[in-house]
Structure 1
């Protein structure tokens, strides 16, 4: 995902990793904004207040498996290559954890999520003829998503952000949509499903992956798939296998009853916590592991 934010005198271009979605955007033509420029010092952090036009945007990186430091490193390298100089940088531990996080003005949930144990922060500056431009970056992760919070404060008014789509994942591989993944690889993960720990009920909301899967199966009536449920590692194996099967069955029911898929095309199974995608020792890892995958079994 290529992000370009233009100024009359300067254009900032950042390549965001993988499939990135804009979840929040706002601008102000003239304001004051305070940026922390020191770790938490017991009673507060040193703040730098700057004046100018402000543009704030939040991006969510879909199906992100790295950590906040990796996400920040790629962005910092691009900023420095375009002439920005770091003013201050830290990670969750060195910043000061909970206290430092709440010293910042951050867009709230659900647009931006901050894991208090896994975030990275950077302030960078570029000097110009009419004054300095500042960029404040905060990266974090939660579940299967990475989060990027970017604030730009400039002496000049900023134009809206424009976006171009990349076809490569964070590791450089070509990104496949669900239909292509099922056709080429015979499997796909339904990355946007949401299950609470211990629950087989889908949270309310729209699930584009299920609409894509339904369209694929309706277009290919001879295709048969298995929905494989997975859980985190809390509880017994026997209980988690039953729970994961119930989750897969909940998805099957939704596809048949709400989206019109032929029930003969779908089977539901569960493997509990035997095939994790992430470390079950963290909340974010457990959320990644609560998922349903699609496996093509035949195309007759």
Structure 2
């Protein structure tokens, strides 16, 4: 279910003067803090174009923090908006902002200094980036905001670059950096053929609910295209849950979610019903340990299984 942002204000760090507050929802959990008293970082300042991302080289004190946000069913735009407003009110000037495909997809993401999992999880189809500056010359400060989500949870990283001191050099623009993406280039259809099954990314179910959100759902579009190109193919949409609750209830929930995905695949993407069946197996086929929130979140999924 959707809910508004809580009144909790989380102090970013005392070194930012005046101290800034990041409006995070109640229940937000800080997952990492990495401080480099003197370092160099390259932050994107434009979209991926012809295989390159224009970047800003910044020298100074680099502090990165990340938070995991509670399950509220919000998209990345709803999560980014109050953060951007807070920066604007504190005197920060937004230099560049973009979202997912508009940034350059996975090629852009791999040019961003994102903290590793489990501190940050990045959905390559649903993330937002922002670069802002305050002040000028050697006293300039910069912040990078990166917002994404994994399943129903949101993740936020804020990286702050402050001056080393009076002798610190002003930030300088550098030539675009050629990006060599490390994500697999295979399409959903490729992975489905090779492995026989694939997790459908980006499904926006609220916690404990079988109502599929409005999307967009690029994996469903890709799956529909695969079925249209292969009319002889048949797939099973298989719902999975974590181990919270009784088996019967989890099987019913996973079945309902699989059926919701099937209905959306047919209604919005033209999937042929005769090619698609829906099944739910509850928590009987985990792909991660259920002893951690991240593991349980990974296990809550719907997979497409190629039947022939």
Q: TM-score, normalised by structure 2?
A: 0.56
SS in 2 for 1:110: coil
The match for 2:100 among 80, 92, 113 is 92
Quick one: higher RCO (CA 8 Å, sep 6+), 1 or 2? 1
1:210-225 equivalences under 5 Å are none
The match for 1:2 among 9, 12, 34 is 9
What is residue 91 of structure 2 aligned with on the other side?
A: 83
What is residue 269 of structure 2 aligned with on the other side?
A: none
What is residue 182 of structure 1 aligned with on the other side?
A: none
CA deviation profile, 1:60-116 (whole Å, cap 9, x unmatched): 101131111111111000100111000110111211111111111111222211111
SS in 1 for 2:249: strand
In the alignment, the residues of structure 1 paired with residue 133 and residue 101 of structure 2 have an alpha-carbon distance, to the nearest angstrom, of 24
In the alignment, the residues of structure 2 paired with residue 288 and residue 64 of structure 1 have an alpha-carbon distance, to the nearest angstrom, of 17
1:192-231 equivalences under 5 Å are 198=238, 228-229=249-250, 230-231=253-254
1:260-279 equivalences under 5 Å are none
SS in 2 for 1:6: coil
What is residue 40 of structure 2 aligned with on the other side?
A: 32
In the alignment, the residues of structure 1 paired with residue 114 and residue 41 of structure 2 have an alpha-carbon distance, to the nearest angstrom, of 11
2:141 aligned with 1:133: yes
1:59-138 equivalences under 5 Å are 59-127=67-135, 131-138=139-146
What is residue 218 of structure 1 aligned with on the other side?
A: none
What is residue 58 of structure 1 aligned with on the other side?
A: 66
Structure 1: which 5+ runs fail to align? 158-188, 192-196, 204-209, 214-224, 255-283, 291-300
CA deviation profile, 1:10-48 (whole Å, cap 9, x unmatched): 211111123211111110111111100000011211110
2:171 aligned with 1:150: no
What is the CA distance between 1:286 and its match in structure 2?
A: 10
What is the CA distance between 1:156 and its match in structure 2?
A: 5.4
Retained in 1: the 8 A contact 2:241–2:299?
no
> Alpha carbon RMSD of aligned pairs, Å?
3.6
Q: TM-score, normalised by structure 1?
A: 0.57
Retained in 2: the 8 A contact 1:144–1:287?
no
In the alignment, the residues of structure 2 paired with residue 67 and residue 200 of structure 1 have an alpha-carbon distance, to the nearest angstrom, of 22
Structure 2: which 5+ runs fail to align? 1-7, 166-206, 210-236, 263-275, 291-296, 304-308
What is residue 13 of structure 1 aligned with on the other side?
A: 21
In the alignment, the residues of structure 2 paired with residue 76 and residue 153 of structure 1 have an alpha-carbon distance, to the nearest angstrom, of 17
